[in-house]
Amino acid sequence: MTEFASVILAGERADRDALRDETGVACKALLEIDGKAMILRVIEALDGARSITSTHLSGPTEACVNGDAGLSAMIGEGRVEWLPPGPSPSTSAHDMLCRFPGTQPVLITTADHPLLTAEVVDHFCRDSAATGCDVVVGMAPYDQVRAAYPELKKTVLRFRDGGYCGCNLFAFLTPDGRRVADFWRQVERERKKPLAVIRLLGLWALLRYRMGWLTLDAALAGLSRRVGLRIGVVVLPYAHAAVDVDSLSDYVLVQRYGKEAAARRPEPESGAG
């Protein structure tokens, strides 16, 4: 099995945030889902994954870390390594990638991914390593996400072969793959505008996308040519892999889903008396 270092992006996008203001938390990563901070849930998922050998945090701020006993204890014990975040997720990703040897595969995810599981992480890492690509992105079929979470609002990339949602899972597998962080800065500015993201592939790709002719594979091939890298995708069969918390409505829904998932977990068997 290919072994990955993991990075959690846990910085903030703006000084003011409606979700933080409404819930009263110092930073979004510390929002609780079913009584546990989102970032701790992500750390536990990575801890439980066989493909992950180390976990590194980019953010939250030092003040937020010091304000949460659980997170500060993990860092103090060396369970995770913490660094202050960069000014944007793409900058943070670039800075963190530069800390690893180019030959070290790195998984990057985000702190607002509270339903992430070790099973999802291992599936994504295993299939990413098998692609032979420089960089791999995780996606989930939109129909599957909509069926499981009908109220959840998700940005959808619609291709001839179906719609897909991002899963905030990125595998950087080769030294060349590190260069995609620069391109990421362009995509990041347009992350909520599927047409603008497709436009980065070129005018012909944009027209094909608008006409419903562009397939996911064709989009990846065009993006690979434009960036000069081999970019692949792993389509994950898990609707919850596409769930993140970007708004107050997301938070309310994910709170409910988190409680429902906890209620479905089997009780541990009692020992023999």
**Per-residue pLDDT of the chain in tens (273 residues, 90 and over written 9):** 899 999 999 987 666 677 877 777 888 999 999 889 999 999 999 999 999 999 999 999 999 999 899 999 999 999 999 999 988 888 899 899 999 998 999 999 999 999 999 999 999 999 999 999 999 999 999 999 999 999 988 889 888 899 999 999 999 999 988 877 766 665 655 555 666 655 655 655 555 666 576 888 888 888 888 888 999 999 999 999 999 998 888 998 888 877 766 665 555 444 433
What is the chain's alpha carbon radius of gyration, rounded to the nearest angstrom?
A: 19
135-141/162-172 β-pairing: antiparallel
Distance from the Cα of residue 159 to its chain's centroid: 21
Element of type H or E holding 245:
none
pTM for the predicted model, two decimal places: 0.87
Q: Is 261 exposed, middle or buried, given 0-12, 13-18 or 19+ CB atoms closer than 10 A?
A: middle
Return d(Cα 48, Cα 149) in angstroms, integer: 25
Q: Which residues contact 246 (CB under 8 A, 6 or more apart)?
A: 19, 112
Give the model's pLDDT for residue 261.
60
Element of type H or E holding 121:
helix 118-129
Give the model's pLDDT for residue 270.
44
Count CB atoms within 10 A of the CB of residue 207.
12
Give the model's pLDDT for residue 269.
46
Give the model's pLDDT for residue 111.
96
Instruction: Please check whether residue 188 is in contact with residue 90, taking contact to mean a CB–CB distance below 8 angstroms.
Output: yes
